[in-house]
Structure 1
Amino acid sequence: MRISTVTMFEQSVTSLNRQQGDFLKVSQQIASGRRVVNPSDDPQAASRAVGVDQAKAVTQQYADSRVSARNSLSQSESVLNSVSDAVTRAKTLLIQASNDTLSDADRQSVAFELRGVYETLLGQANATDGNGRYLFGGYKDDSEPFVKSPTDGKVEYRGDENIRRQHIDSARTMKVTENGKTIFQIQPGGDAEGLFTTLENSISVLETPAETDADKAELRDTLSTSMNELDDSLDNVLTVRASMGARLNELDVVDAVGGNRMLNYEQTLSDLVDLDYAEAISEYSLRQVGMQASQKAFADLKGMSLFQYL
């Protein structure tokens, strides 16, 4: 069987190109740190890696959502902590005002301080999350949820009754704040005389001179009722705060689970596509030797011709 010089040349070139391709492939793997650089390197592993990457992306989205949820809950919990302090201060002032030895001027002085607490609470009820969204206004963000009526100056709730929620995991949706109406206006048991109304009534009676026995009786009754209502309001605020604290604790647990899930995904992804450097370097050396041998064989072949002997 005769083998022409052209055939031998073509076979040598083909072998050289194959050796160069294998060498470059290993070089690319080492440079990238990945065994599967192109899907054709391992179609099955590449396909599974795409699925794992997608699962990682979803898990990261939930992790980001938990960060946002934690920020909202932490801000709301911090505001409610200040609210509980303000309600406690209001109760202390009403106890002070209940002293029968106080004069009308003394009670007006207490009313002045109580109005300061009232304004502080109004500001806290209209607190924002730093992004312009009101914490306790439901989904309504275009205006403050608690405003003073232009007719009688009493505080009214202008937000809606929705509660913001976020997906913190694939099967868990969490409330990230509470409705302002629930916190500041609805008393336990469904009574519609709320925190601001309680303070408005207290301020009004303290600013009114108690000249007759009937005036003094109304003063005592109003202050007694208001103190009971403040106790109810404080219990309500503390209950909401406790609920937020429980949700913050749950976020820590879900974070830990999500973190472990992410580590598992990363390990799976590494097993699928990452490079074994020891094996790759060994193959790199082998391919380098093979390529050098092909280059030498090609060089020798180029010099082989019968015309050299004519």
Structure 2
Amino acid sequence: MRVSSVAMFEQNVANLNRQQSEFLKVGDQFATGRRVVRPSDDPQAASRAVGVSQSMAVNEQFSDARISVRNSLGQTEGALESMTNAMVRARTLAVQAASDTLSPADRASLTSELNGILETMLGQANATDGNGSYLFGGYRDDAPPFVRDAAGTIVYQGDERVREQRVDSSRHMQIGEAGDALFGQLFDTMQGFITAMEAPRDTPAERDAARGAIDATLRDLDTSLDTLLTRRASVGARLNELDSLDTIGGNRTLNYERTMSDLVDLDYVEAAAEYSLRQVGLQAAQRSFVDIQKMSLFNHM
């Protein structure tokens, strides 16, 4: 079978284009540092890389969620610490107030400080996470959970449920606290304490009633302090858990990165050898193309 010069020319052009394409492909790999530049380079590896990339994105979302939760829990812990300090001071004042030796001026001074402590506690109970969401209002986090009614009594207007957020594939973590269960009795006790301090003590019966009220205040303050300390410990435990989840998430990210590298990253030693081979192939195809051109009959006329 005779092969025409046209057919030989077309065959050499196709070979030249193929060699040039393969050479440029390796060049692209060097430029990007990736073995799989286009899905067609390795469809199976490209498909697996898409799955790994999606998993990495989800892992990153959980990492961002933990940052947000850590911020909220940090704000919560700070508010609980301030509330605890305020209640410890209130208990100290309650011990002083139980004495019958206090003068009316002394009681007025203590009452004034107690009112200041109560306002501090109210401010902490209405603390936000820095983004405008109230920490202790449950799912109703767009308005102060504690307000004064017409009579001046502090009442709870938040939600009884607690907010949660997903911080890992199988972990939903409590973010805030339900303020009523946590502070509702802090406030009733403090307001009762102030009322007892303002009550007259002119008669033995009035003095006995005042002492009884202050004794009850001490017991209630101790109970409330125990509740606060328990909740602070819970917040601390969640913060520690977030650290552990961050470590796990970081290790997961490293594994994903290794897998992704194995799938699509370039082996420079292997690629260098391939580059040299393709360069030789391209040069050979170019010489062959030139030789074919010289075989035209016009060159022999």
TM-score bracket for this pair, using the shorter chain length: over 0.9
Deviations 1:122-150, CA, capped at 9 Å, x for gaps = 00000001110000001113321000011
Please identify runs of 4+ aligned residues in structure 1 that moved more than 3 A.
Answer: none
Instruction: For 1:183 and 1:160, locate their aligned partners in 2 and report how far apart those are by CA, in whole Å.
Output: 12
RMSD, aligned α-carbons: 1.1
Shift of 1:204: 1.4
Q: Which residue of 1 aligns with 2:299?
A: 308
Instruction: For 1:232 and 1:215, locate their aligned partners in 2 and report how far apart those are by CA, in whole Å.
Output: 26
Q: Which residue of 2 aligns with 1:188?
A: none
SS of the residue corresponding to residue 37 of structure 1 reads coil
How is 1:62-211 mapped onto 2 (pairs within 5 angstroms)? 62-150=62-150, 152-185=151-184, 194-211=185-202
Q: Which moved more, 1:21-30 or 1:296-305?
A: 296-305
Which of 234, 246, 261 matches 1:255?
246
Compute the TM-score of the two structures, normalised by the length of structure 1. Answer: 0.95
SS of the residue corresponding to residue 99 of structure 1 reads coil
Q: Which residue of 2 aligns with 1:298?
A: 289
Aligned residues: 301
- Which segments of 5 or more consecutive residues in structure 1 lack a partner in the other structure? 186-193
Letter in 2 for 1:289: V
Shift of 1:52: 1.0
Q: Which residue of 2 aligns with 1:218?
A: 209
CA contact 1:12–1:297 (8 Å) conserved in 2? yes
Shift of 1:221: 0.5
SS of the residue corresponding to residue 120 of structure 2 reads helix
Which of 220, 230, 233 matches 1:239?
230
Which of 273, 285, 294 matches 1:282?
273
CA contact 2:132–2:142 (8 Å) conserved in 1? no
Deviations 1:179-237, CA, capped at 9 Å, x for gaps = 1112102xxxxxxxx11111111111212231111110111011110011011101000
Instruction: For 2:44 and 2:300, locate their aligned partners in 1 and report how far apart those are by CA, in whole Å.
Output: 55
CA contact 1:164–1:175 (8 Å) conserved in 2? yes
Shift of 1:7: 1.0
Deviations 1:240-262, CA, capped at 9 Å, x for gaps = 00011111111111111111111
Instruction: For 1:302 and 1:197, locate their aligned partners in 2 and report how far apart those are by CA, in whole Å.
Output: 102
SS of the residue corresponding to residue 35 of structure 1 reads coil
SS of the residue corresponding to residue 209 of structure 2 reads helix
Q: Which moved more, 1:30-39 or 1:125-134?
A: 30-39
Instruction: For 1:8 and 1:142, locate their aligned partners in 2 and report how far apart those are by CA, in whole Å.
Output: 79
Letter in 2 for 1:220: R
Q: Which residue of 1 aligns with 2:53?
A: 53
Letter in 2 for 1:108: A
SS of the residue corresponding to residue 167 of structure 2 reads strand
Instruction: For 1:91 and 1:195, locate their aligned partners in 2 and report how far apart those are by CA, in whole Å.
Output: 12
Q: Which moved more, 1:41-50 or 1:299-308?
A: 299-308
Q: Which residue of 2 aligns with 1:266?
A: 257
Letter in 1 for 2:70: R
CA contact 1:202–1:226 (8 Å) conserved in 2? yes
Instruction: For 1:173 and 1:309, locate their aligned partners in 2 and report how far apart those are by CA, in whole Å.
Output: 85
Instruction: For 1:30 and 1:92, locate their aligned partners in 2 and report how far apart those are by CA, in whole Å.
Output: 73
Letter in 2 for 1:280: A
- Which segments of 5 or more consecutive residues in structure 2 lack a partner in the other structure? none
Letter in 1 for 2:188: T
Compute the TM-score of the two structures, normalised by the length of structure 2. Answer: 0.97
CA contact 1:62–1:169 (8 Å) conserved in 2? yes
SS of the residue corresponding to residue 147 of structure 1 reads strand
